[in-house]
Amino acid sequence: MRRFIAMLSFVPLALCVGCEEPAVAVDPASDDAFGEADQAYTVRGRLVQLPTSGGASRSLKIHHEHIPAFVGSDGEVHRNANGVLGMLSMQMAFPLVDPDVDLSTYEVGDKVRFTFEVRWREDGAAEWRVTAMEPLDADVELDFGAPAPAVTPEP
């Protein structure tokens, strides 16, 4: 099993953690369905899509800043193919939102600080859940750039 997870981390996960929405639908209202979180991160970002802005199947989508301390399914800080640690800045879908988070007070384009939990499934895929959100001033400057690699790749 350990070997299986290690192999998985080299495949698309290594390139783009969180790009795909979870294949398994979970009842957002049920804490038990999500289970105990493995990690939680509080990050800044900009709202790209709200569940209420389109069809019923739309997820909350947030363009978040780089998350240097993001831990992968193996329990280690995730290392990208170019050596950058953590989860790169990306537009990420969050199908699960805690009922305590009132999205009706937000609009697409708003800048926010939010917290999301991660639970790693046995197959190495991740489930994400937003558990807190607060607005940021519109003039706050967010950094969506790519950080320099932590380690210079060998030639």
Indicate the residue among 13 and 50 with the shorter CB distance to Cu ion. 13
Confirm or reject binding of residue 60 to Cu ion (CB under 5 A).
no
Closest C-alpha to 96, from 32, 151, 144, 155: 32
Of 17-25, 71-79, 126-134, 146-154, the segment contacting Cu ion by CB under 5 A is 17-25
Among 37, 90, 132, 142, binds Cu ion (CB under 5 A): 90
Confirm or reject binding of residue 62 to Cu ion (CB under 5 A).
no
Hey, what are 90's tokens? Answer: 């990306």
Confirm or reject binding of residue 14 to Cu ion (CB under 5 A).
no
Hey, what are 149's tokens? Answer: 């690699």
According to DSSP, the β-strands at 39-49 and 126-135 are: unpaired
Least Å distance, CB 10 to Cu ion, is: 19
Distance CA 86, CA 66 (A): 7
Among 50, 92, 97, 118, binds Cu ion (CB under 5 A): 92
Closest C-alpha to 31, from 90, 97, 122: 97
Indicate the residue among 56 and 70 with the shorter CB distance to Cu ion. 70
Can you tell me whether residue 143 is helix, strand or coil?
coil
Of 85-93, 101-109, 113-121, 143-151, the segment contacting Cu ion by CB under 5 A is 85-93
Phi-psi region of 60 (alpha: psi -120 to 50; beta: other; left: phi over 0): beta
Residues at the site binding Cu ion, with contacts judged by CB under 5 A = 18, 87, 90, 92
